[in-house]
Amino acid sequence: MFKKFLASLTMAAAVGSLAAAPVCAADSPRTNLTMYEAPDPTYTITIPETVAISTTDTTLVPITASDVSNLPDGKQISVTYESGNGVYGRLYLQGTDPNDGTSYVMTMMIAGTAGDFRMGALEKQIKGMELASFTDNGTENFQLYPAAFDYPDGTGNLQIHKGVPYTGYMTYGIALTDTPSSGK
């Protein structure tokens, strides 16, 4: 009889456990699925078309970022020196004396976000140099001055010749880059 009682008790427990947790479609486990692709970053970079270089002081050249949106975390807009009108992309101005036809070259010194001036005649030092960077709307200046400032007693191409119109140009690279870990 004890065996019958134990079998009945076991059977009741088994039936009871089935009745205690009925499974129906409304209680089924589920996983919510989402999908989102961030929109592409947009921005406008404004660089002056013409800059008059001072013959007596450092010239500040403004670069402005506006309409900055959807910039991914950890990214910045970087504006770099790409090339100048000189041989191998060097940065210098050329001029011709209107009176006697003598040609002159004036190397430019340039400083970007790092703050140190580099000589435009050394293209390996200046190509790719960051001139400004942005994570939001704003304006930053890079700096230019004639190398003649560093040689006050210079002659020839190491002096600014009065009455000589000097001209040149530079081109820029603009790209999204990683933000430096310095928190800029």
- How does pLDDT run along the chain (184 residues), one tens digit per residue? 445 544 454 455 555 555 545 555 567 899 999 999 989 999 999 999 999 999 999 999 999 999 999 999 999 999 999 999 999 999 999 999 999 999 999 999 999 999 999 999 888 889 999 999 999 999 999 999 999 999 988 888 889 999 999 999 999 999 999 998 744 4
pTM for the model stands at 0.78
For the beta carbon of residue 9, count every other beta carbon within 10 angstroms. Answer: 10
Please give the domain boundaries of the chain with CATH numbers for all domains. 58-175 (2.60.40)
Could you tell me which of 101, 30, 46, 125 has the C-alpha nearest to residue 79? 46
